[in-house]
A and B are shown apart, each in its own frame.
Chain A
């Protein structure tokens, strides 16, 4: 039996010893290297562009401008608002304008400086408030009203009535700064066109299928002539789930020159490609009744989207729709607006759309509970929504191990004896959360399966699995080996995975929304079960013999397919399906912090994280996901922020200026796996890749309150902000 066991990642050794092939390791005969010219202005019209001087440079082979592929694209079909290279309007500092292919990178880069571009500089919109105030300055023409990408207003139950009769209300404004993914591998793409005109693009993408569709549309090639292959990926975290300019540029240049073309982004360019966490301003009201039950939640959310929509339509929904567990809300209302601004586009970063409101809500809940004198863990327990219930906004919760999660972190952290009693400068805080396990619907409406897996058995005893899913480090390829071993009785090491190649593998929609283990897992299991039945009938002394006998009976190679079919889910109202998921994961954290009250410097000494993933198909991978998530959440609390100057220039687009914690800045982490055995998931599994991030930030904020009596409502929790709050607290104490 293989599922549920610890099993090393199948690609782990090749990543560690350097033998794994990433996109940048691909080098083809006669390959050219291309570089992209970017806009130095946050908002400008392109009056004239002339790339021809660049062509004069020895070693330059081709240039490319927007007019050569003006078709707009975007990951969501309703918001096609980007061009690979701008034809007439640049919308942020770093927006792509032209491209040069040359024999080497340095020549291409030098040649970029010769491209002549005349800009008419326009006033730039740099904050969502400005975007609202100046509808006459259009950041992106796709916005129907002013600069709004999307506004969602929903109300469930009589919120105002509930507010009027509340025992206590916490009402505050919270600000979540934008952060970015910082995968170790920068984006890279290589394109090649064969003699028959078939285009192949190798790309560090987490959405090969959507990329194939967009490449076909923008380049005007039939989809059957476009092949996308995702090689080994060096981290993504949502930062590679849009189609990006480099993919179109290498493809078009390969078509133009007949030679393979590569683009590898610099770290700076990764910052401009961005699609990270949206900055959000949230006016949150949480009302409790006398027993401490949540009677109303009201959230007004202003979202800073950047220059393009990306997944923004979904972001505007997720910001409100995903808050309604693990606690029962008596009534709920949200009004969320995603604004276009002249900055690099935001998008889905691990915990897409819901990390920010979760922070605000969990801090507000603490504050409200404190007013009633209820312990922070107790108030969360009291409001537990339960299993197999419907949320106030019509989402169907199945299994729910949240109470167990709370209990584990309460125990492990010594909460009862330590919360409120650690002495000055040290404290504990708690928070909980819920997250989706995939979304019920694909980004483009269709009736076909969201995931497909093909399994082939060879008479040698080798198993081959063809899966469209992207392994972005979460370990889906390893899980596929384990599932095959579980159902077929083969050795998991005798499985070959052919993955994420649109010519060879069935479609999977991509590695986003924590959908992969659940959907691909079910599809793989279905295929394996079909074959297992044939092996059982055939009999045989061992797996290889069973394969041979079964093949003889079949009179044809042994293969089977499985798929994940979308279920009908979600509330019966406009937008009710967004955020509807076949299962939800749950998490609870306790964080411990230490604050130096003289300098404001603080650190997280420890985080205890318990996560209900349904069933840990491979506990090592689940722990890895929990630890990685907690690290990322704590990092956003500690130091990560995308900062811009008054002209829209991203401050310090490098890993020296944009700080992420080093191993020394990372708290001690202890993770606990909770298994609620979901009836719908493969072997009971749900998700573990994104959910465990959420509580880290509010747990830390709540711990800072326990440590020194301050409420920090703005990320990141810079020491200077802590120091200022400490001073305000002291001033207040003195006045009292």
Chain B
């Protein structure tokens, strides 16, 4: 069997206690559902000696409620729970229903999904395998197997809730021993596969806030994967459109599973005023394809992903417009 490195699991009972532990135990990492961090630990991707387990914070951080013009989602909501309880944000519920498989959805959390480590076929492998290949930039090495000569890791953001929450204009509440901050999600992610968020080592993501107006947006989530379950996205995307009298008022489109940062497609302002129809879907597809370059970081033919991307965008936008 694959063995887990020796780690001590700490079990705080509150957010305040948790962030203090993170501060006091250098290198400590957060353990929520563990569906991402545990396999990565077995792969020898982290040097951690301590895990700060969040189970004791369930009462505090597991809720879905509407308050102050926001839909607020606690970081410890399980993915399975959101697939059922987030029905006021249909694209989010749909994305959650398509994550992994039933057991993993029950263990996995929203916070864990948003803070999911980036993925790459050359890094999510055993220590032996990586040693045979040659270690890379993300851990233990100096080169990149995806971008030859590359100096920056381009491991892919592979979380399915991220593009949806980005398209819906969500923000996140982060707590550290120094206090809390609220950040638009679009400022949360970085273009660096080694560590793709602005999260500090002693900071906890405790809540996601989606403006209530998002409930009335025409929205849809689209995912490309090789199997109908279990698989991480080979591409994922979300679209949210404000439509009035048959015309587009505003549109947000986010495409991910490409590089370290989910990509909000730029320059869509001029689409305002266009009829919300098949042609706008085509146009969004065209622009998304231009701005996204699938790489070999995901083990699915990048050429084919590039070809399928506009089809997926077009179909997802059409689905959003139909509902």
Binding between chains A and B: yes
Chain A interface residues (CB < 8 Å from chain B):
38, 40-41, 93, 105-106, 109, 186, 264, 266-268, 598-600, 639, 645, 647, 649, 651-654, 656-657, 659, 661-665, 718-720, 723
Mask, B310-323, CB within 8 Å of A = 1, is 01100000000000
B16-24, B197-205, B275-283, B298-306 - interface stretch: B298-306
A600 and B304 contact, CB distance less than 8 A: yes
A599 and B308 contact, CB distance less than 8 A: yes
Mask, B258-284, CB within 8 Å of A = 1, is 000000000000000000000000000
B128 and A268 contact, CB distance less than 8 A: yes
B131 and A40 contact, CB distance less than 8 A: yes
Given A93-B132, A109-B3, A268-B126, A598–B311 Cβ distance below 8 Å? yes
Chain A CB count within 10 A is highest, among B1, B128, B131, B301, for B128
Tell me the nearest residue of chain A to B226, going by C-beta. Answer: A659
A266 and B1 contact, CB distance less than 8 A: yes
Restricting to B88-135, which residues have a CB under 8 Å from any CB of A? Answer: 101, 121, 124-126, 128-129, 131-133
B229 at the A interface (CB under 8 A): yes
Q: Would you call the interface of chain A mostly helix, strand, loop, or mixed?
A: loop
B229 and A649 contact, CB distance less than 8 A: no
> How far, in angstroms, from A439 to B230 measured CA to CA in the complex?
40
12 other A-B residue contacts (CB within 8 Å) besides A639-B226, A665-B229, A723-B304: A38-B128, A40-B131, A105-B3, A106-B6, A264-B1, A266-B2, A266-B126, A649-B129, A652-B125, A656-B124, A662-B228, A664-B228
11 CB contacts below 8 A, A to B, read A106-B5, A186-B1, A268-B126, A599-B308, A657-B121, A662-B101, A665-B227, A719-B304, A720-B301, A720-B303, A723-B307
> Hey, which chain B residues are within 8 Å of A38, CB to CB?
128
A649 and B299 contact, CB distance less than 8 A: no
> How far, in angstroms, from A656 to B226 measured CA to CA in the complex?
11
Contact pick for B1, options A93, A105, A599, CB 8 Å: A105
CB distance from B97 to the nearest CB of A (A): 12
> Hey, which chain A residues are within 8 Å of B5, CB to CB?
106
B129 and A268 contact, CB distance less than 8 A: yes
> How far, in angstroms, from A38 to B303 measured CA to CA in the complex?
34
A662 and B229 contact, CB distance less than 8 A: yes
CB distance from A188 to the nearest CB of B (A): 9
CB distance from A270 to the nearest CB of B (A): 11
> Hey, which chain A residues are within 8 Å of B140, CB to CB?
none
B60 at the A interface (CB under 8 A): no
> Hey, which chain A residues are within 8 Å of B228, CB to CB?
662, 664-665
B129 and A653 contact, CB distance less than 8 A: yes
Contact pick for B227, options A600, A659, A720, CB 8 Å: A659
> Hey, which chain B residues are within 8 Å of A657, CB to CB?
121, 299
Q: Would you call the interface of chain B mostly helix, strand, loop, or mixed?
A: loop
Given A664-B229, A665-B227, A599–B311 Cβ distance below 8 Å? yes
> How far, in angstroms, from A652 to B307 measured CA to CA in the complex?
24
CB distance from B105 to the nearest CB of A (A): 14
> How far, in angstroms, from A574 to B226 measured CA to CA in the complex?
46
B66 at the A interface (CB under 8 A): no
> How far, in angstroms, from A336 to B85 measured CA to CA in the complex?
60
Restricting to B210-267, which residues have a CB under 8 Å from any CB of A? Answer: 226-232
A664 and B227 contact, CB distance less than 8 A: yes
> How far, in angstroms, from A654 to B119 measured CA to CA in the complex?
15
Given A40-B128, A40-B132, A656–B230 Cβ distance below 8 Å? yes
> How far, in angstroms, from A600 to B303 measured CA to CA in the complex?
13
> Hey, which chain B residues are within 8 Å of A664, CB to CB?
227-229
CB distance from B315 to the nearest CB of A (A): 9
> How far, in angstroms, from A720 to B303 measured CA to CA in the complex?
9
Contact pick for B304, options A186, A268, A720, CB 8 Å: A720
> Hey, which chain B residues are within 8 Å of A600, CB to CB?
304, 308
CB distance from B175 to the nearest CB of A (A): 32
Tell me the nearest residue of chain B to A38, going by C-beta. Answer: B128
> How far, in angstroms, from A665 to B2 measured CA to CA in the complex?
28
Given A40-B128, A651-B299, A659–B231 Cβ distance below 8 Å? yes
> How far, in angstroms, from A385 to B227 measured CA to CA in the complex?
40
> How far, in angstroms, from A106 to B42 measured CA to CA in the complex?
11
> How far, in angstroms, from A657 to B6 measured CA to CA in the complex?
26
A651 and B301 contact, CB distance less than 8 A: no
> How far, in angstroms, from A599 to B226 measured CA to CA in the complex?
12
> How far, in angstroms, from A266 to B307 measured CA to CA in the complex?
36
CB distance from B37 to the nearest CB of A (A): 15
Chain B CB count within 10 A is highest, among A600, A645, A653, A654, for A654
> Hey, which chain B residues are within 8 Å of A720, CB to CB?
301, 303-304, 307
> Hey, which chain B residues are within 8 Å of A264, CB to CB?
1
Tell me the nearest residue of chain B to A650, going by C-beta. Answer: B129
> How far, in angstroms, from A652 to B123 measured CA to CA in the complex?
10
Contact pick for B132, options A267, A599, A649, A665, CB 8 Å: A649
B132 and A106 contact, CB distance less than 8 A: no
Restricting to B1-19, which residues have a CB under 8 Å from any CB of A? Answer: 1-6
> Hey, which chain A residues are within 8 Å of B124, CB to CB?
656
> How far, in angstroms, from A411 to B308 measured CA to CA in the complex?
38
CB distance from A573 to the nearest CB of B (A): 45
CB distance from B156 to the nearest CB of A (A): 14
Tell me the nearest residue of chain B to A268, going by C-beta. Answer: B126
> Hey, which chain B residues are within 8 Å of A649, CB to CB?
129, 132-133
> Hey, which chain A residues are within 8 Å of B131, CB to CB?
40
Mask, B289-303, CB within 8 Å of A = 1, is 000000000010101
> How far, in angstroms, from A105 to B1 measured CA to CA in the complex?
8
CB distance from B277 to the nearest CB of A (A): 19
> How far, in angstroms, from A38 to B132 measured CA to CA in the complex?
10
CB distance from B285 to the nearest CB of A (A): 11
Contact pick for A652, options B226, B230, B299, B301, CB 8 Å: B299
CB distance from B56 to the nearest CB of A (A): 27
5 tightest CB-CB pairs across the interface, nearest first? A664-B228, A720-B304, A40-B132, A106-B3, A662-B229
> How far, in angstroms, from A657 to B229 measured CA to CA in the complex?
13
Tell me the nearest residue of chain A to B305, going by C-beta. Answer: A720
> How far, in angstroms, from A186 to B303 measured CA to CA in the complex?
35
